[in-house]
């Protein structure tokens, strides 16, 4: 669902930041319903700030990373998509569409443990049509080595070879890498530890990146394994992050020139 549809709000549709404010509203509602952690509001604000300096649109570098990510998910033996409160509040339908299209489980994995949160997120995913949700049964959980936060408790992630982590805090990607797992991150901050440790880093907003992943998955499902492996082989995450940082510098330089035209 686009934020312009079916949402009751007090923000006029003509407001220049209408869409952005609608997503804020989803995060706030999510917090009231236990889906989003209190800190999720702050995380969202940090994301907005980074989104601003990439021009609030998907850069070419993110599109290239998305191609490698989808190829990687399609060729993986045991892929999984990790779900936290923010992503469940922002793009539940898109997340479920991607999971169903690629036949990949969604695993709820939270940094902030609080009574009722897993149930609230499970309900959101079920309402969006999810058929394979993991991370809900404590008896199936094991602990990831090298991680002390609540994120250490995992189910299918322990067995997975490729893990997609849309929008999250620092140290889990590092822990997953030390366990020889492949990590795909979506993070608006190209300098975060998650972004730097991941094998494939999509520097974009999850609200834009996941729909593009869906389109890409529809196309790539027609490719054979060798073609998909070639896409992965031709992708260099280090070069891609460097190019993203250059793009940010260029954007800020242009914005500086624009600001000077207004400043007296």
46 binds ligand PTJ (CB under 6 A): yes
Half-sphere exposure of 17 (CA within 13 A, CB side): 9
Least distance in Å: CB of 218 to ligand PTJ? 22
205 binds ligand PTJ (CB under 6 A): yes
DSSP secondary structure string for all residues of 77-124: SSEEEEE-HHHHHH-HHHHHHHHHHHT--EEE--SS--TTHHHHHHHH
Q: Does 192 bind ligand PTJ (CB under 6 A)?
A: yes
Question: Any contact of residue 188 with ligand PTJ (CB under 6 A)?
Answer: yes
Q: Which stretch binds ligand PTJ (CB under 6 A): 56-64, 83-91, 224-232, 244-252?
A: 83-91
Restricted to residues 97-116, the positions that interact with ligand PTJ (CB under 6 A) are 110-112
Q: 135-149 burial, b if ≥16 CB within 10 A, otherwise e?
A: beeeeeeeebeebeb
Count the Cβ atoms, other than its own, within 10 Å of residue 49: 11
Closer residue to ligand PTJ in complex, CB, 59/85 = 85
Tokens read off for 256:
């500086």
Least gap, CB of 263 to ligand PTJ (angstroms): 28
Q: Does residue 86 belong to the site contacting ligand PTJ (CB under 6 A)?
A: yes
| Shortest spacing between CB 227 and ligand PTJ, in angstroms | 28
- What would the two tokens of residue 230 be? 């070639």
160 backbone φψ class: left, alpha, beta (φ>0; ψ -120 to 50): beta
Window 153 to 172, contacts with ligand PTJ (CB under 6 A): 167-169
Q: Does position 3 bind ligand PTJ by CB under 6 A?
A: no
229 forms part of the interface with ligand PTJ (CB under 6 A) = no
Continuous segment of H or E residues that includes residue 21: helix 18-32
Edge-to-edge strands of the sheet including 162-166?
A: 133-134, 106-108, 79-83, 162-166, 182-186, 200-202
Of the pair 73, 91, the CB lying nearest ligand PTJ is at: 91
> Considering beta carbons, is residue 111 or 223 the nearer one to ligand PTJ?
111
Helices (H), strands (E): how many in the chain? 11, 8
Return the axis-axis angle of helices 38-53 and 237-262, rounded to nearest 10°. 80
Contact range with ligand PTJ by CB under 6 A, out of 79-87, 133-141, 225-233, 239-247: 79-87
Q: Which residues bind ligand PTJ (CB under 6 A)?
A: 37, 39-40, 43-44, 46-47, 50, 84-86, 90, 110-112, 167-169, 186-189, 192, 205-207
């Amino acid at each position: 669902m686009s934020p312009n549809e079916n949402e009751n709000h007090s923000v006029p549709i003509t407001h220049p930041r209408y869409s952005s404010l609608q997503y804020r509203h989803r995060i706030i509602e999510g917090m009231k319903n236990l889906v989003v952690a209190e800190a999720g509001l702050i995380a969202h604000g940090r994301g907005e700030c980074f989104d601003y300096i990439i021009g609030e649109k998907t850069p070419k570098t993110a599109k290239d990373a998305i191609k490698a990510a989808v190829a990687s998910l399609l060729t993986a033996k045991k892929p999984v998509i990790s779900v936290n409160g923010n992503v469940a509040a922002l793009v539940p339908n898109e997340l479920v569409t991607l999971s169903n299209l690629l036949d990949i489980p969604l695993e709820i994995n939270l940094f902030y443990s609080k009574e009722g949160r897993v149930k609230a997120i499970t309900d959101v995913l079920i309402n969006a049509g999810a058929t394979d949700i993991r991370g809900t049964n404590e008896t199936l959980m094991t602990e990831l080595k090298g991680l002390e936060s609540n994120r250490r408790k995992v189910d299918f992630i322990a067995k997975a070879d490729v893990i997609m982590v849309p929008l999250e805090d620092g140290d889990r990607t590092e822990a997953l890498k030390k366990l020889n797992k492949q990590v795909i991150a979506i993070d608006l901050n190209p300098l975060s530890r998650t972004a730097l440790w991941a094998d494939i880093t999509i520097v974009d907003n999850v609200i834009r990146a996941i729909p593009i992943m869906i389109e890409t998955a529809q196309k790539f499902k027609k490719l054979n394994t060798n073609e998909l492996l070639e896409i992965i082989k031709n992708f260099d995450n280090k070069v891609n992050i460097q190019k993203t940082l250059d793009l940010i510098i260029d954007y800020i330089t242009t914005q500086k020139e624009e600001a000077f035209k207004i400043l007296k």
